[in-house]
């Protein structure tokens, strides 16, 4: 999938038409992946979202078009990412709207999330890769094999990354809890006989 | 017992809830950065991985694309295609463009000529009148012969 980037930036209508025809089915599929019903909760339909994707490409003097670098990614990856981001933004806009008083049928975001209690994970202790692996394993509840496939590494690498990250976190919380609860066992389960 | 301990592990609970402490603002990745990472995850792209670790929706998109690739959508109807095509307006016909440029150029030339005429005519009248008064009152005049002739003529006319 290729397109005449320079011509589109110049405003060549024919090049733009060709680009749209080349990418529109992928855009539709990408949006449908995020909004399977083809409609956002507050009324935007598929056509509106598709149009929003291409408007975004032309906004700010065609900034996204200008900044696309074919050496870094394929057009399909780039346009899919933009399309899904537009769809996610559309869904998020709804979640930020004030909920109607009578929301028996209109509630779409569920009950408001309460602030989590307990310790906050100190991000400065972990590398970005460690944070990502832990997010995928714990928050997304993904299998080690799937995490490995997504990151392009071996499952053993994922286990090792997780182990090191958890060691850092446990050491941090044990140090910060020292003296607060002397009866709390601090041996790892696998160390018990 | 081991599983029970992990079940109530506050660290794992915080991880499952995505409960992170406030982090200092990191460099925001561009769309190009994210697209490049999706094609080839790079541990050194820390700003991308930090964002993905924070943003569950974006992470879901990235993981989905990594694991399942792209799928083409259904055939798109002419109405939607037309709407998207129309976002980039077609240029006017060639002759119309040339005609517009020619009209603009002609108008600019006419304005320039008219302005020059107005400016040069006013200057002569104004300076002649002013200098006639100056010459009559103070004997001040320009040294050029032509200018003196104009002045004498004006003085004669004044009289």
Question: What is the three-state SS of A112-157?
Answer: CCCCCCCCCECHHHCCHHHHHHHHHHHHCCCCHHHHHHHHCCCHHH
Are A95 and A109 in contact by the 8 Å Cβ rule? The answer is yes
- Contact A78/B31, CB-based, under 8 Å? yes
Which of A16, A64, A169 faces B11 most closely, judged by CB atoms? Answer: A169
Q: Does domain A123-179 have CATH number 1.10.10.10?
A: yes
Are B103 and A47 in contact by the 8 Å Cβ rule? The answer is no
- ipTM over 0.90? The verdict is no
Rounded to whole angstroms, the Cα distance separating A132 from B16 reads 12
Q: What 3-state DSSP class applies to B20?
A: strand
- Contact B56/A140, CB-based, under 8 Å? yes
Are A83 and A90 in contact by the 8 Å Cβ rule? The answer is no
Which letter, b or e, does each residue of A62-93 get, where b requires 16 or more Cβ atoms within 10 Å of its Cβ? bebbeebeeebbebbbbbbbbbbbbbbebbee
- Contact B84/A13, CB-based, under 8 Å? no
Domain with CATH 1.10.10.10 in chain A: 123-179
Rounded to whole angstroms, the Cα distance separating B62 from A32 reads 16
Task: Enter the tokens of residue A38.
Answer: 């083809």
Find tokens 């935007």 and name the residue.
Answer: A44
* Residue B59 exposed, middle or buried by CB count within 10 Å (0-12, 13-18, 19+): buried
Nearest alpha carbon to residue A151 among A124, A127, A132, A123: A132
Which letter, b or e, does each residue of B89-110 get, where b requires 16 or more Cβ atoms within 10 Å of its Cβ? eeeeeeeeeeeeeeeeeeeeee
Rounded to whole angstroms, the Cα distance separating A104 from A161 reads 45
- Contact B89/A13, CB-based, under 8 Å? yes
Assign 3-class secondary structure to B79-90: HHHHHHHCCCCC
User: Over its length of 193 residues, how does chain A's per-residue pLDDT go in tens digits?
Assistant: 888 999 999 999 999 999 999 999 999 999 998 888 877 777 778 899 999 999 999 999 999 999 999 999 999 999 999 999 999 888 887 655 444 444 333 333 334 445 556 678 888 889 999 999 999 999 999 999 999 999 999 999 999 999 999 999 999 888 877 655 444 444 444 444 4
- Contact B71/A33, CB-based, under 8 Å? yes
Are A161 and A129 in contact by the 8 Å Cβ rule? The answer is yes
Find tokens 């709207």 and name the residue.
Answer: A97
Which chain A residues are closer than 8 Å to B84 by Cβ?
Answer: 20, 24, 50-51, 54
Rounded to whole angstroms, the Cα distance separating A160 from A129 reads 12
Rounded to whole angstroms, the Cα distance separating B57 from A88 reads 7
Query: Range with the lowest mean pLDDT among B3-17, B28-42, B49-63?
Result: B3-17
Q: Which pLDDT does position A111 carry in this prediction?
A: 41
Which chain A residues are closer than 8 Å to B78 by Cβ?
Answer: none
Q: Does domain A5-96 have CATH number 1.10.1740?
A: yes
Q: Which pLDDT does position A146 carry in this prediction?
A: 97
To the nearest 10°, report the CA torsion of A182, A184, A186, A188: 160
Return the residue of B nearest to A153 by Cα: B41
- For residue A39, the cross-strand partners are A45
- Condensed to tens digits (0 to 9), the pLDDT of residues B79-115 reads 999 999 999 877 667 656 676 677 788 888 888 888 8
């Amino acid at each position: 999938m290729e397109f005449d980037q320079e011509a589109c930036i110049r405003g060549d209508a024919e090049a733009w038409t060709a680009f749209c025809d080349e990418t529109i089915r992928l855009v539709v599929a990408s949006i449908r992946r995020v909004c399977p019903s083809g409609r956002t909760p507050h009324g935007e339909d598929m056509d509106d979202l598709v149009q929003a994707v291409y408007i975004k490409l032309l906004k700010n003097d065609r900034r996204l078009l200008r900044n696309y670098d074919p050496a870094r990614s394929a057009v399909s990856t780039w346009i899919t990412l933009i399309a899904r981001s537009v769809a996610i933004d559309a869904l998020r806009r709804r979640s930020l709207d004030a909920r109607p008083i009578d929301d028996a049928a209109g509630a779409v975001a569920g009950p408001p999330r309460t602030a989590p209690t307990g310790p906050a994970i100190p991000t400065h202790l972990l590398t970005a890769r460690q944070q990502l692996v832990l997010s995928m394993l714990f928050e997304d509840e993904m299998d080690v094999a799937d995490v490995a496939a997504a990151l392009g590494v071996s499952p053993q690498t994922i286990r090792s990354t997780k182990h090191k990250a958890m060691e850092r976190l446990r050491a941090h919380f044990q140090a910060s809890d020292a003296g607060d609860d002397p009866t709390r066992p601090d041996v790892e389960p696998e160390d018990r006989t | 017992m081991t599983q029970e301990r992990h079940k109530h592990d506050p660290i794992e609970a915080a991880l499952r809830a995505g409960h992170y402490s406030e982090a200092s603002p990191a460099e925001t990745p561009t769309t190009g950065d994210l697209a490049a990472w999706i094609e080839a995850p790079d541990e050194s792209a820390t700003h991308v991985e930090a964002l993905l670790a924070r943003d569950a929706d974006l992470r879901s998109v990235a993981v989905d694309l990594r694991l399942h690739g792209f799928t083409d959508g259904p055939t798109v109807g002419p109405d939607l295609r037309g709407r998207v095509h129309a976002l980039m307006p077609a240029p006017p016909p060639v002759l119309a463009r040339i005609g517009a440029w020619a009209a603009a150029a002609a108008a600019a030339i006419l304005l320039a000529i008219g302005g020059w005429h107005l400016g040069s005519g006013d200057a002569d009248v104004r300076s002649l009148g002013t200098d006639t008064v100056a010459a009559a009152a103070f004997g001040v005049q320009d040294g050029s012969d032509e200018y003196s002739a104009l002045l004498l003529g004006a003085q004669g006319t004044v009289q």
